[in-house]
């Protein structure tokens, strides 16, 4: 099982105790859930939710009798909890980052480093794909999502180049799109610390999966589900996500536990790693954790 982002901090702020129940709204590859199940035994349970049926199928092979696994969007959280009769919830976790499995093994075009179809859906039931956006949306619509969802400063030029490229042939693969972006941006931008395609791929993924709207829809539901004293922990990787969470934590029914953003620490000590890795910075072990931000609150 993979090493989850900010595992030590998640356990600190969720503070799972024996026989308490928790919800992992983005169970992914199961790392955080396994750590919680270790803390809340012998009778504590976890309700794990994920939109991707393949990830749910992978996790279902592990026989956890205290884990209820649901393939659904966390936007339907209240309905899921009611359907599963999952009660007395002491904590809810959201890890909003894309999983390593999606980037490396899903074959759905999440990574610009692999030549794959431009899909980017977490759920195959979703009607919208990245291919549909780049081939059928207008220049102004494409420019808007690049500007709003990734702060891409060359949004207009990239959108224009996409429109011109698709006149010649449909843009169907990640490498095709990466080539279009490369032609649209200045040469020095192509060799920077951040790959020139990073922001475009991020904006497309957010749009395809309706990520920001789903988060805004779900957070108010948590107040109806958490019991008094229950904790809400959110790990975000994007400034717009973090803003949504920060604003929601101003709710009168919540008290913020993290006065400052919690980021990956220099001293990393996950319970199941070698002594050599325990002394290494988390960002070195897992470079994708570098933009992680954790906020926690407690229901009054």
Could you give the domains of the chain? 7-101+211-299 (3.40.50.150), 127-208 (1.10.150.170)
CB 27 within 8 A of CB 69: yes
Tell me, what's the pLDDT at 279?
45
Q: What integer is the mean pLDDT of 168-173? A: 98
Orientation of helix 211-225 relative to helix 198-208, angle to 10°: 50
Per the DSSP assignment, residues forming a β-bridge with 46 are 22, 67
Averaged pLDDT for residues 219-235: 98
Q: How far apart, in Å, are the Cα atoms of 248 and each of 131, 163, 220, 256, 299? A: 33, 38, 8, 10, 12
Residue 168 · residue 149 · CB < 8 Å = no
Most confident region among 1-10, 228-237, 262-271 by mean pLDDT: 228-237
> What is the pLDDT averaged over residues 11-33?
97
Q: Average pLDDT, stretch 208-221?
A: 98
Question: Which single residue is written with the structure tokens 């070698």?
Answer: 274
Instruction: For 52, list phi and psi in degrees, rounded to 5.
Output: -90, 115
Confidence band of 185 (pLDDT split at 50, 70, 90): very high
pLDDT in tens, 270-283: 555 555 444 456 55
Q: Does pLDDT of 216 surpass 90?
A: yes
Is 70 exceeded by the pLDDT of residue 293? Answer: yes
pLDDT tens-digit map of 79-94:
999 999 999 999 999 9
């Amino acid at each position: 099982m993979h090493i989850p982002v900010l595992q030590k901090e998640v356990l600190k702020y969720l503070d799972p105790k024996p026989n308490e129940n928790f919800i992992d709204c983005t169970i992914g590859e199961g790392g955080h859930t396994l750590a919680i199940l270790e803390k809340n035994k012998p009778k504590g349970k976890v309700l794990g939710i994920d939109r991707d049926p393949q990830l749910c199928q992978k996790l279902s092979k592990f026989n956890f009798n205290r884990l209820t696994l649901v393939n659904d969007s966390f936007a339907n959280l209240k309905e899921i909890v009611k359907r599963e009769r999952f009660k007395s919830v002491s904590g809810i976790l959201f890890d909003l980052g894309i999983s390593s499995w999606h980037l490396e093994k899903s074959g759905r075009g999440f990574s610009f480093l692999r030549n794959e179809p431009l899909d980017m859906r977490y759920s195959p039931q979703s009607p919208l794909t990245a291919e549909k956006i780049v081939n059928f949306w207008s220049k102004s619509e494409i420019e808007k999502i690049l500007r709003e969802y990734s702060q891409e400063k060359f949004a207009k030029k990239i959108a224009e180049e996409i429109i011109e490229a698709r006149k010649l042939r449909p843009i169907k693969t990640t490498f095709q799109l990466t080539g279009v972006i490369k032609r649209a941006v200045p040469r020095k931008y192509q060799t920077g610390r951040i790959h020139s395609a990073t922001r475009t791929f991020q904006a497309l993924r957010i749009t395809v999966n309706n990520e920001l709207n789903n988060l805004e829809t779900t957070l108010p539901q948590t107040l109806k589900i958490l019991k008094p004293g229950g904790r809400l922990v959110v790990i975000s990787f994007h400034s717009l996500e973090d803003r949504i969470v920060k604003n929601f934590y101003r709710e009168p029914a919540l008290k913020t536990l993290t006065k400052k953003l919690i980021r990956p620490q220099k001293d990393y000590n996950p319970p199941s790693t070698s002594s050599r890795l325990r002394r290494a910075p988390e960002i070195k072990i897992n470079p994708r954790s570098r933009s992680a931000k954790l906020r926690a609150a407690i229901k009054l």
